[in-house]
Structure 1
Amino acid sequence: MAQHTNKLAKAAEGCAKLSALALAVSLAFSAQANEEAAPDKQKIETIIVSGTAGGRGVRKVDAAFAVTNLDATKIERLAPKSTAELFKAVPGVWVETSGGESGANVFVRGFPGGGDAPFLTLSLEGVPVYPAPTLSFLENSSIFRLDDTISGMEGLRGGPNPVVSNGQPGLTTNFSLKRGYEETEGSFKYTTSDYGLNRVDAVLSGELAEDLFFMVGGYVKRSPGIRDAGFTSEKGNQLTINITKEFDNGEFNVFTRQTDDRGAWYLPTPLNVDGVDGGFTQIGTKNRYAEVFAGEYNQVVDFDLGEGRGWNGSVSGGSLKLELGNDWELVDRFGLTKGDANTYGLVPDGSAVALSSVADNGSNAMGAVTQTQYSGDTMVQAYGRWVVLKEIEAFVNDLAVSKDFDSLSSSYGVYTATTSANDWWSLGNTAYHVVEQGGEMLDGIACNTDVAGCSWNYDINSVGDATTLAFYTTQKYYFSDALTFDLGLRSEQHEVEYSVDEGLDGTTDKYVDYDERKTSWTIGGDYKFSSNQGMFLRMNKGYKMPYFDDFRDNFGTYQSGESLIKEVTQAELGYKFMGESTDLYATLFTNEVKGDTFVRRPGEPAEILTNEAIGVELDFNYNHESGFSVNLNATLQDTEITESPANEGNEAQRQPKWQLRMTPSYEFEVSGMFASVYGTLSAVDDRWGNNENTVVLEGYEKVDIGATLEPVENIKLQLSVDNLTDEEGITEGDPRNADAPNGRYIMPRSVKLSVAYMF
């Protein structure tokens, strides 16, 4: 405990230094901002809907919590290769997107985790796209694709999160769709790249009838992937329709987003083999088709592993907003998500080794496809041919009524959700392959043709349904124009029914009938030093309710009477400033997560632990009238596993002590043409690859650059270079075997060029 106290003291000292720096920067720029402000030049207010009952909205400068907002221009300049990669722009968040467009790992403020995104909720128009933050082989960002129909994103950490919406105690990211207005507008954009990408985006919006507006848009794309698989490994299309009807006292909005998009699943690669770098991928034309031997009776099924990971389904919903008179307001938001989120891939099992050490004859073996004779010094690795078929569905409704009194703003809401997942898995099916791009399987190794394979198999068929009913209230009291106090309460009933057939023998091996209730709360205060700066203090307590995989992976614990609920307690102290040209948010946070579970590989026992963290987040924006602007976001944190059977006193795995992202840009005119140049420098500290703190993942720096040019009216060119120096940073080791010398590289250097016509 003394060790932890020292760590916290050092972290607090570092946080204090960073907070002092943030305050100094703010004061320096605030004077300049006040001088620049003119009576006839008013800054457009930023309105935040995340963290408010029913999405009523609050001015960002009035929000007593830490929230980051990105508009369409910022998103365009960041040029994220996936939805999850955009979250890197949110302080306090560590994101690993080296697995491809789907299947990211997202960590929040030192919360524990071994992968996926257990403390992330992704919402569209204020509605969670899937109430379960993470299931095995599925996290929220995997079923959401960015395109030109998105107008912006908000990222809320902690704050009122445990009380509103689905009660997520960690990070809620809320995306907004573009809407139509009286004038018809549109854009058409073609994008290509140095890795063979062909993509077309289009958006059209306008007025259908009086007070009836529309927006329709989407994309079509094809490519062999940033890590070239030798075939069209990335393909997708998406169509979004957004309709809004305005009334004298409100509006009604409906939207639907139909997506069919998937790409190769990039997995950890051997770090002990020459020639394997950030462009390497296991999948290729010689191994994409595979036989999977599933279940007790060794059912043989053929699959195309080149399908990778993706989403074929729809996210639909809408909202009704009405002003009822006498300062009463009603907001109802609803959403339906339905589709398939399947996973196919070649998963490494252990280290790469010389062929002679595993060949039946002790010297060589023949390729199963090309009949090539490979010598004994050829490096080979066991790959599991994994297949996960996942059909999901969810319906969400969030109804809130609010009323403003003289000094009190009251809101009352009811949140309901039904969530289901039907799974069929075949994991294992391991066979040795040549370690080369798309390396083929080998004959002459007994277990390669044995239905049992070279390692374990884990096969399941499961079906699960969960229902959530929550009542919540938020109350905000205005002591004065400068001082406010708010309180939020949430009572949630969570029920799960879940059946599992392990081994695919037609019998139910595990059955769950679960029913629990928990009450979450948040309390906060906000004080303004002036109209554009202030500070806030907040505490909250919330819960991550268990879903299907929590029970399957912890079935013995559940049978012993444990509830499997993760309890999260947080505190925040923040400073905020919004001037004419400068925005600054600095937030000191501390948290404790009890009852977290970590499963290294499906079917293995879970480790239950308690985690503590303390840190500071910095979110700084400066925009000068000359055209120069810069964004800086930084996180400094210290974590400790405080309760664990074997790892007490260690740091949380996979999360850096510090990370920094700086994005400068400059807008200018040249020969009558409008242009901009911009870039992003990212730097991260070393991380531990496991809870045992025996595997070090070295820190790295990454540089991205870009430029736009508008040569004539309505035409825009954009060039983006990701990972300019081709840095080979490692995001994670081998999550299934920490001692194996495998790891995921960040994406290699890539160049994109787009041409857009806007009207």
Structure 2
Amino acid sequence: MITQRTTRRLLATSIAALLAAGTLHAEDATPAPGPQAAPAAPAAQQTPPPPPPANSKNATNLEQVVVTGTAATGGLKKIDTSYSVTSATLDQIREFNPKSSADLLKMAPGVFPESSGGQTGANIEVAGFPGGGDAPFVTFQLNGSPLYPMPTLSFMDNSSMFRLDDTIDHAELVLGGPAVLYGNGQPGLTANFILREGTDIPTGDVGVTYGSEGMVRLDGFYGFKIANDWYASVGGFWRKSDGVRDPQFDADKGGSLTATLTHNFGDSGSIMFYARDLKDHNQFVTDTPILNPGRGQFEAYPGFDPLTGTFGSKANQHTFIQTTPCYTAGCTPGGQNLNLAKGRGADIISVGGNLDLTFGNDWNISDKFNFTGGQMNTIAFFSTGQNPETLSDYIAGNAPAGTTATAYYTNNGQPADMNQNVTTQGLWYVHKRIQGATNEFHISKDIFEGNTLTFGNYTAVYNDHDTWFLGNNMLLQAKNNPNPIGVTLSNGQVLSSSQGFVSGPSTAIREAWNGFNTAFFLTDTWKLDKWLFDAGVRVERQEANGRIQNTATGDLDNNPDTLYNNNSQYLVGGNTTINYAKTAPSWTIGANYEIQSNMSVYARINDGVHFPGFDDLRGLPTQPVNKVHNMEVGFKYQADWLYLDVNAYRKLFYNVPYTITQGNGQQFSFDYGSATKGINFNTVVKPIPNVPGFQIAFSGDYMDGHYTHSAACTPYTTQSGEEGCASLNGMQLQRQPKFQGRLTPSYEFPTAFGSMKFWLTWEYIGNRYGDLIEQQPLGQYHDLSFGATANIGDNWQINLQGTNMTNEIGITEGNSRLFGFASEGGVILARSIEGREVNLQVKYKF
């Protein structure tokens, strides 16, 4: 019944979008200014230095038109936006050399993506938003439509559904502000990626990249004209890589293909369709052993390099996990064949479109729609939270008293060294099938000169069908590319299986969720001389319905001597259902004053909401809607020698639910709030007048954020087993640095063959805490990257880039399985950024 209702809603939303596009296409529209025209700027009172042309897409250009976070037809010039927005062209994205799509978000001051786990699964922190993991306050959009209506599900954030390639024209990163009114109403960061389209003159490029980590990558794009007013493009990438953390098989393998079709209606508007197919598999890395000699100090653990190490290996790539019990003596439990090379991958298709039309009498219509569906699966090792110990100590602590043991490497049967250090890692399997359809419709009318009223609706229908088998702990050597270890006891019992498993699934979940969101919003903008005022209100309703299969715990093979699967969780008949429905408002008021044509100030206040995700509701079906209160002021300035964009903010959260699972399995739930004040800054200086090609860019964030309104004493358990309690009040927001900054000097100059550009980027990440009570200091770190580009003639380009050139250890997360102090005996389970990586690209443009 749930599936049928969801299917009807998916079809209804998609059909409505297509019908709207077809109907509006058939209208006889009265010619009017096209929707891509930027609002006219008022005459300046003084004569400032001339800004770059308005069509120059540059992150440091206040004349650039941005379309994210605004209902204005054709967008707004950046100087007129009364909110924080960072933009980047395709060339600027390339020069930033992000490790992943999540890593690119560092371009927006105040955003800290923990991209240390690989291409996918990044925890993304937005300054002042108490996330503490995953990416609940980050939405990825494609041409203005969310890729998936919920920003985060377990084992799936929006960034994992997206890869960067040459089909991207530019990116717009908006922090809060009026974005709470549009799309899925994200109060945190909205990252909107705009696709390249065809042009009158066919253009394109082909690039080949080789990386020091054994990477080979092919990129390409071609945009062309089909007929009068009809344009198309096609492009994408394919690559495979051993990875900086080489698991002895392809760490990354896959690619993406994107196509667009555009039709222009002259001055009346345009319609554009796109399709994007992504199939990419990536190794995912969690905590590894690292020496922790002092608070916030970290060194390499013997045998395991924190910069290049991984628990993946040829010896454990292919396994079979037991999931289904059998009750006949000697039978074999059912289960799943796993291949670690499948990793945390994406196999999804996105199709959608944008319609923009301008009618007579100052009427404008805009519609954006998207459908995304496919699989977002995970097969990866996850930390069990236990520090390494010798194999003999592990056996003594887990085998019956008085028994001896025979230990062997499962790949070759050779005896295992009892004095070597070993660890256990959970081999987790998550099968996730998703579908989501969204449609956002705007209708605008100029009420009087300078005043525009917009009414709109956003509707999303989506589902998520999951099967999880977590646990499956495997006994491994505590070193890079380890062998699994089997252990047979002298009494005939098997402690570790012939594949190295010491447990079966500790968590088994099969669930089906369906969601429906609809929101109506009304906004008004008023251009009054040098002032631009805007205000809006949104009312949104979320409905979520879930069906969760029942489970039981016991022996999978009816054999008490196979200790490794005696206490496993498995699925049984029957279901538990959860139904949820809430309605909540959002609103915003902003004002921008253009002091002169190259300088403006603004102020904004807004309230946003964050609805619970499916996984939140499984844990607490009565989850409240989080309310986010934001206040900000900003200043923008541009001259020949300086670009400056500064934003000061204060953010307040209320009634955030949190649940701790203690060592004895008992759960403790409570609510908390938070209060944060801070400054985002983005500046570019050209300090030498006679050398215009030399500039220094500096961006970053200072944040002072603390927990408030928490329980008087929150219980926790340390890694050593000690129990205690502490108040969250006044503690620094989890995993967020008080200060982070990036300094990039660059020099571009002409040559006899074309031009060259060189740059260095020094990044600093301040101290953070891995938990909520400041018991896990993660320390500070800095890293250095470089880049060089040579443009040869009109067609050739060579790019050489490198990251973390000094091989700095930079901890992004501590032992996420524990609430309290994670260090014991000088060892912590944590995750560092990746080590040095250098790549060389040769590109031909035509």
Tell me, yes or no, whether TM beats 0.5.
yes
Q: Distance in 2 between matches of 1:82 and 1:39?
A: 31
User: 354-363 vs 564-573, which deviates more?
Assistant: 354-363
How many angstroms apart in 2 are the aligned matches of 1:251 and 1:232? 43
Secondary structure of the residue aligned to 1:75 is: helix
Q: Alpha-carbon deviation of 1:35?
A: 5.2
Is the Cα–Cα contact under 8 Å of residues 245 and 251 in structure 1 kept in the other structure? yes
* Alpha-carbon offset, residue 712 of structure 1: 4.0
1:331 aligns with 2:366: yes
Q: Which has the larger radius of gyration?
A: 2
CA shift, 1:643, in A, is 2.4
Match of 1:461 in 2: 510
1:430: Cα distance to partner?
0.8
Deviations 1:303-344 (A, max 9, x none): 112211110011111011100111111000000000100011
Query: What does 1:571-610 align with in structure 2 at a 5 Å threshold?
Result: 571-598=631-658, 606-610=669-673
Task: Supply the distance in 2 between the matched residues of 1:698 and 1:420 (Cα, whole angstroms).
Answer: 40
> 1:254 aligned to 2:283?
no
Is contact 2:312–2:481 with CA below 8 Å preserved after alignment?
yes
Distance of aligned partners of 1:171 and 1:392 in 2 relative to their CA distance in 1, 3 Å threshold = same
1:28-47 alignment runs, 5 A limit = 34=48, 45-47=63-65
Structure 1 Cα separation of the partners of residues 92 and 829 of structure 2: 35
Contact 1:356 1:362 in 2 (8 A): no
**Partner amino acid, structure 1, of 2:94:** E
Return the alpha-carbon distance in structure 2 between the equivalents of residues 226 and 46 of structure 1: 37
User: Matched residues in 2 for 1:677 and 1:447: separation?
Assistant: 57
User: 2:465 touches 2:511 (CA, 8 Å); kept in 1?
Assistant: yes
What is the rounded CA distance, in whole Å, between the counterparts of 1:686 and 1:33 in structure 2? 45
Among candidates 399, 407, 412, match of residue 370 of structure 1: 412
In structure 2, how many angstroms separate the alpha carbons of the residues matched to 1:40 and 1:551? 46
Contact 2:139-2:189 at 8 Å conserved across structures = yes
Contact 2:48-2:596 at 8 Å conserved across structures: no
Give 1:644 deviation, angstroms. Answer: 2.4
Contact 1:363-1:376 at 8 Å conserved across structures:
no
The answer to whether 1:683 aligns with 2:761 is no
1:348–1:381 contact (8 Å) kept in structure 2: no
CA distance, structure 1, for counterparts of residue 318 and residue 85 of structure 2: 45
Q: Does 1:614 align with 2:677?
A: yes
Indicate which of 343, 356, 361 corresponds to 1:321: 356
Structure 1 position 408 matched with structure 2 position 451: yes
Structure 2: how far apart are the matches of 1:96 and 1:238? 24
In the aligned structure 2, how far is the partner of 1:39 from the partner of 1:186? Answer: 24
Is 1:702 the counterpart of 2:744 in the alignment?
Answer: no
1:168 and 1:40 map into 2 onto residues whose CA distance is: 28
Mapped pair 1:717 → 2:798 = yes
Cα distance between partner residues in 2 of 1:38 and 1:523 = 29
Native 8 Å contact 1:577 1:583 kept in 2:
yes
* Aligned-partner residue type, residue 154 of structure 1: E
State the AA in 2 paired with 1:81: K
Give the aligned partner of residue 742 of structure 1: 829
Contact 1:56 1:331 in 2 (8 A): no
Q: Deviations over 1:219-272 (max 9, x none)?
A: 111111121111122101210001110002110100011010011111111014
TM-superposed deviation, 1:79: 1.1
Kindly indicate whether the alpha-carbon contact (under 8 Å) linking 1:474 and 1:489 is maintained by their aligned counterparts in 2: yes
- CA distance in 2 between counterparts of 1:39 and 1:356 reads 71
Structure 2 residue matching 1:87: 3-state secondary structure: helix
What CA distance in whole angstroms lies between the structure 1 residues aligned with 2:624 and 2:414? 52
Once the 2 structures are TM-superposed, how far is the Cα of residue 444 of structure 1 from its aligned partner? 1.4
Q: 1:107 aligns with which of 118, 125, 130?
A: 125
Q: Which residue matches 1:567?
A: 627
Deviates more, 1:456-465 or 1:272-281: 272-281
- Larger mean CA deviation between 691-700 and 574-583 belongs to 574-583
Instruction: Sort the Cα spacing of 1:181 and 1:648 in 2 relative to 1 into closer, same or farther, 3 A.
Output: same
Code of the residue aligned with 2:375 in structure 1: it is: D
What secondary structure does 1:751 align onto?
strand
Deviations 1:718-751 (A, max 9, x none): 1001111111111111212352611111011011
Is the contact made by 2:391 and 2:422 (CA closer than 8 Å) also made in structure 1?
A: yes
Deviation at residue 576 of structure 1 after TM alignment = 1.3
Could you tell me which residue of structure 1 aligns to residue 438 of structure 2?
A: 396
Report percent identity of matched pairs.
32
Aligned to 2:139: 121
Q: Tell me by how many angstroms 1:151 deviates.
A: 1.0
Q: Distance in 2 between matches of 1:239 and 1:493?
A: 35
Q: CA RMSD in A?
A: 2.5
Corresponding residue SS for 1:83: coil
User: C-alpha distance in 1, partners of 2:72/2:82?
Assistant: 17
Equivalent AA in structure 1 for residue 465 of structure 2? N
**Which deviates further from its counterpart, 374-383 or 391-400?**
374-383
Matched residue SS, 1:53 = coil
How does the TM-score come out when normalised to structure 2?
Answer: 0.82
Q: Tell me the distance in 2 between the aligned counterparts of 1:51 and 1:40.
A: 19
Provide the secondary structure at the position in 1 that maps to 2:181: coil
2:538 corresponds to: 490
Mean Cα displacement is larger for which, 523-532 or 592-601? 592-601
1:537 pairs with 2:586: no
- Asked whether the equivalents of residues 53 and 413 of structure 1 are also in contact (C-alpha less than 8 Å), the reply is no
2:32 is matched with none
Aligned counterparts of 2:444 and 2:767: Cα–Cα separation in 1: 47
Q: Is the CA contact (8 Å cut-off) linking 2:469 and 2:505 kept in structure 1? A: no
Query: Aligned with 1:444: secondary structure?
Result: strand
TM-score after normalising by structure 1: 0.91
Q: Which residue of 2 aligns with 1:635?
A: 701
SS in 2 for 1:86: helix
Q: What is the aligned partner in structure 2 of residue 84 from structure 1?
A: 102
1:147 to 140, 144, 165: 165
1:72 to partner: Cα distance: 1.1
Deviation at 1:599, TM superposition (A): 5.2
Residues 161 and 312 (structure 1 numbering): CA distance in 2 closer, same or farther, change over 3 Å?
A: same
Aligned partner of 1:6 in structure 2 is none
Name whichever of 726-735 and 591-600 sits farther off: 591-600
Counterpart for residue 743 of structure 2: 662
Specify whether residues 332 and 110 from structure 1 end up closer, same or farther in structure 2 by C-alpha distance, changes over 3 A only: same
Tell me how far 1:448 sits from its aligned partner. Answer: 2.4
Residue from 592, 598, 605 that aligns with 1:526 = 592
Q: Deviations over 1:7-48 (max 9, x none)?
A: xxxxxxxxxxxxxxxxxxxxxxxxx99457799999783011
> Partners of 1:179 and 1:264 in 2: how far apart?
32
Cα–Cα, structure 1 residues 129 and 47, in superposed 2: closer, same or farther, change >3 Å?
same
* Alpha carbons 1:34, 1:580 under 8 Å: kept: no
Return closer, same or farther for 1:295/1:162 CA change in 2, 3 Å cut-off: farther
Counterpart of 2:468 in structure 1 is 425
CA contact (8 A) 1:66 1:159 kept: yes
Quick one: distance in 1 between partners of 2:441 and 2:459? 9
After TM superposition, the structure 1 stretch with the greater mean CA deviation from structure 2, 667-676 or 85-94, is 667-676
1:454–1:351 Cα change, 3 Å: farther
Provide the rounded CA distance (Å) in 1 between the counterparts of 2:381 and 2:501: 16
Q: Tell whether 2:284 aligns with 1:284.
A: no
SS in 1 for 2:577: strand
Residue 235 (structure 1) aligns with? 253
Deviations 1:404-459 (A, max 9, x none): 22131211101100111000000001121111222121111644239994487001
1:264 and 1:693 map into 2 onto residues whose CA distance is 30
Q: SS where residue 316 of structure 2 aligns?
A: coil
Would you say how many aligned residue pairs link Structure 1 and Structure 2?
A: 722
1:275 to 2:303 alignment: yes
The answer to whether the 8 Å contact 2:51/2:638 transfers is no
CA distance in 2, matches of 1:132, 1:38: 38
Look up the equivalent residue of 2:776 and give its one-letter code: V
State the distance in 1 between where 2:337 and 2:217 align: 31
Matching residue of 2:477: 434
2:425 equivalent to 1:383: yes
Distance in 2, matches of 1:590 and 1:172, equals: 18
Is 1:70–1:152's contact at 8 Å kept on the other side of the alignment? yes
How far did residue 210 of structure 1 move? 0.6
Residues in 2 aligned to 1:351 and 1:455: alpha-carbon distance in whole angstroms: 20
